[in-house]
Amino acid sequence: MINKNYHDCELIKNDGVFTFRNKNTTIGFIRFNEKGEVEYIFVNPLFRKKGIAKTLLKLTRDKVGKKLTLKEPISPMGSKLFKSVEKLN
């Protein structure tokens, strides 16, 4: 799923939120709705560039079974991320 260096992560699934945590901190999370709109995605700066955001997006797409869209407002970094993973959709 995510980089093998983070095998000690736990994926917590709640209604509309997926969260990756380890024993010390939240690594990243995504908030979404049943329409496939990503309302918020965050990855702790210490864990960026490890495929976590892409994994969260893929898990979300698989859960909702629809093409994902970003809900406004979209940060510049969020737009860049979504463009880099458009092929997941």
pLDDT at 5: 54
Could you give the 3-state DSSP secondary structure of residue 55? helix
The domains of the chain are located at 4-88
4-88, CATH topology level: Aminopeptidase (3.40.630)
pLDDT digits (tens, 9 = 90+) for 21-75: 999 999 999 999 999 999 999 999 999 989 999 999 999 999 999 989 888 767 7
Q: Residue 40 in contact with residue 74, Cβ under 8 Å?
A: no
pTM score, two decimals? Answer: 0.80
Q: In what order do the strands lie in the sheet with 10-14?
A: 10-14, 17-21, 26-32, 37-43, 69-70
pLDDT at 65: 95
pLDDT at 77: 74
User: Exposure of 27 by Cβ count < 10 A (0-12 exposed, 13-18 middle, 19+ buried)?
Assistant: buried
| Banded pLDDT at 7 (limits 50, 70, 90) | low
User: Exposure of 30 by Cβ count < 10 A (0-12 exposed, 13-18 middle, 19+ buried)?
Assistant: buried
pLDDT at 4: 52
